Structure 1
Amino acid sequence: MKLARFRVGDGPVRLGRVDGDVTDAASLTVTDVSDVAGTSLRAILPDLGAGREAVARASGETYALSGVVLEAPVDDPQKYLGIGMNYAAHAEEARQAGIPVPTSQLWFNKQVSCIVGPRAGIVKPDVSDELDYEIELAVVIGKRCKHVAAADARSVIAGYMVANDVSVRDWLQKRSPTFTLGKSFDTHGPLGPWLTTDDEVHDPLDLGMRLTVNGEVRQDWRTDDMIDDVYEQIAYLTQVMTLEPGDVLATGTPSGIGAPTGRFLKVGDVVRAEIEGLGALENTIVPEPDQAG
């Protein structure tokens, strides 16, 4: 099942079921299921198993997906966490760019205020010219959990999204002793385009992922190249903290980021991040709004 948060025109946010072939955008529709599921995706995750049939049968108004505004599927997680340098080739390119390579899982926090939808503008901040992209598989937690073994970790996953872990490199590596500031600028957390539930993904550890800038391929990899796979990540994190329904884990980016070559994003660039079977984000880089007055 694919679940989206959407608006029709300037109307309120609704929860919808996306139907159709992901590889054929023109076939996609979204059916309003708000009457049976409410409007918060995070709120229904703990009961999604029991409520699945009602959502699947819901017959609210249906719209062509192209005619609605998609919002971030989960816009209010309690935690948005990301892992650094979790693909071997990316770790090597990071090392070549002068970024220390960790010897264990390196986790950082993205402030949830950075989250935006799959078509929203990404603001290029005035304080930096080192705006970078990172396509990532996002895992959404479905059950409150602690001390989860890697072998059991899939049972706590609600589903998957596409993430672009937008990074401001000079703030990330030079201007802050932690990653938080360089990862948390407003609009630097596009997520979506919808949540694909775990049962629809045969193997999250073997998905193709591709990111383009203005149509030029910059990242083209598969999730099977992770150093620590998504189950090992959950096992590692839950030794430390309780994960809650709706928490988002960005599971690492492959090689091809802009930092090693200095090919950073500029205003007007269109960044498309797509993962096999999960859909795509397409975000345009926009200037920072004038805050005067």
Structure 2
Amino acid sequence: MKLVRYGARGAEKPGMIDADGALRDLSAHVSDIAGEVLVNLSALKDIDPATLPLVEGNPRYGACVGGTGKFICIGLNYADHAAESGLEVPPEPVIFAKYTSAICGPNDDIIIPRESEKTDWEVELGFVIGKKAKYVSEADAMDHVAGFCLINDVSERSYQIERSGQWSKGKSSDNFGPTGPWLVTPDEVGDFDNLGMWLDVNGERMQDGSSSTMVYRVPFLISYLSQFFTLHPGDIISTGTPPGVGLGFNPPKYLKAGDVVELGIDKLGTQKQTCVNDA
């Protein structure tokens, strides 16, 4: 299944994508793609999307999951990205928070913060927790995944690296977490360890990688994180990025107002964002 949330920000409705790629309204069956709905997605698998009302026009897509309590990111999780950053792959996953106020729709504007000079891009494979996970074994980890999604882990590098403290302040500005368009269930994704990933800025290919170069894989990450804190339905985990981020170029390349960012992952759809300066 491909599940979506669509409509005005803060008032999104649940939807499903049919076999022809059309948007169908799920409102008669669930109130949102969130919470307890994620615990029992199997109940939606019996619904024939063709029987649902067709949504006309081109409504805005919101983030593909609602009610997120934690947005957790994994740093330096691609061997080739660590190399371009001049850093060693860490002996354990690097964990940082992307605060939930950063979450936005897949095609919403990237808002460049005031005084920012180093706003950067990162195409990432994300997944959403569907069942409470605490002290989970790696063997059982995938039982706790509702689905996978595309994420742009937008980052302000001077805030992240040059201003001391934790990374989160460089990762959590408004609209720094475009998520979606779809939440795709694991059965439809298939081999999530071998998905092509790409990102363009103004039509120029910057990132062209694969989830196959990920160091710490999804089942391990779920087990690892669940040893430290409980994962709840709706929590988002973003698993790192392949090489080609702006920081990695010589000289570095960063986003400015008017730039257009497009990105995608096999089977998870695409995003397109325009960069604007914050008011």
Q: TM-score, normalised by structure 1?
A: 0.90
Instruction: Tell me the amino acid that sits aligned with residue 88 of structure 1.
Output: A
**Which ranges of structure 2 fall in alignment gaps of 5 or more residues?**
none
Match of 1:24 in 2: none
CA offsets 1:260-281 (integer angstroms, 9 cap, x no match): 2210011111111100011011
Percent identity over the alignment?
40
Kindly indicate whether the alpha-carbon contact (under 8 Å) linking 1:5 and 1:14 is maintained by their aligned counterparts in 2: yes
Instruction: Quote the offset at 1:48 in angstroms.
Output: 1.2
Within the candidate set 268, 271, 275, 1:285 is matched to: 275
Aligned to 1:264: 254
Q: 1:61 corresponds to which residue?
A: 53
Which residue of structure 1 lines up, in the alignment, with residue 27 of structure 2?
34
Instruction: Give the counterpart of 1:94 among 82, 85, 88.
Output: 85
Amino acid corresponding to residue 19 of structure 1 in structure 2: D
Counting matched residue pairs gives: 277
**Counterpart selection for 1:200 from 188, 198, 216:** 188
Distance 1:138 1:10, change over 3 A: closer
Indicate if the aligned counterparts of 2:73 and 2:95 stay in contact, CA closer than 8 A: yes
Instruction: Indicate whether 1:181 and 2:160 are aligned.
Output: no
Indicate yes or no: 2:206 matched with 1:218: yes
Q: Structure 1 stretches of 5 or more lacking a match?
A: 21-26
Q: Show the 5 A alignment for 1:1-293.
A: 1-7=1-7, 12-20=11-19, 27-53=20-46, 55-56=47-48, 59-63=51-55, 67-95=58-86, 102-261=90-249, 262-289=252-279
Deviation string, structure 1 residues 63-91 (Cα, Å, up to 9, x no partner): 25x62211111243110000000001100
The letter of the residue matching 1:281 is Q
Checking the alignment, whether the CA contact within 8 Å between 1:150 and 1:235 is kept in structure 2 is yes
CA distance in 1 between counterparts of 2:48 and 2:172 reads: 35
For 2:10 and 2:235, the matched residues in 1 are separated by 27
Structure having the higher helix fraction is 1
Q: Which letter maps to 1:2?
A: K
Structure 2 counterpart SS, 1:159: strand
- Tell me by how many angstroms 1:61 deviates: 2.0
Task: Classify the secondary structure of the residue corresponding to 1:150.
Answer: coil
User: Residue deviations 1:81-133, cap 9 Å, x none?
Assistant: 000000011001112xxx67533210000000000001100111122110000
Structure 1's 169 and 101: CA in aligned 2 closer, same or farther, altered over 3 A?
farther
**Farther off after superposition, 209-218 or 70-79:** 70-79
Go from structure 1 to structure 2 and tell me whether the alpha carbon gap of 1:166 and 1:243 turns closer, same or farther (over 3 Å shift). Answer: same
User: Given residue 27 of structure 2, which amino acid in structure 1 is its aligned partner?
Assistant: S
CA distance in structure 2 between the partners assigned to 1:221 and 1:169 by the alignment: 21
1:26-71: per-residue Cα shift (whole Å, max 9, x none)? Answer: x521110111111343441012123431x4457332025x622111
Which one is further off, 269-278 or 10-19? 10-19
Kept in 2, the 8 Å contact 1:36–1:58? The answer is no
Q: Which amino acid in 1 is paired with 2:255?
A: L
Q: Could you say if the C-alpha distance between residues 75 and 168 of structure 1 is closer, same or farther in structure 2, counting changes exceeding 3 Å?
A: farther
**CA contact under 8 A between 2:9 and 2:62: conserved in structure 1?**
no
Give the letter aligned to residue 260 of structure 2.
V
Instruction: Work out the CA distance in 1 between the residues paired with 2:212 and 2:64.
Output: 25
Aligned to 1:200, the other structure's residue is in SS state: helix
Letter of the aligned partner of 1:93 in structure 2? Answer: E
RMSD of aligned Cα (Å):
1.8
Does structure 1 conserve the Cα–Cα contact (< 8 Å) formed by 2:17 and 2:49? no
Identify which range, 180-189 or 145-154, moves more after superposition: 145-154
Q: Please list the CA deviations of residues 172-192 of structure 1 after superposition, one character each: whole Å capped at 9, or x if unmatched.
A: 012141111111001100000
Query: Structure 2: which amino acid aligns with 1:183?
Result: K
CA separation of 1:33 and 1:115: change in aligned 2, threshold 3 A: same
Q: 1:235 to 1:10 in 2, by over 3 A?
A: closer
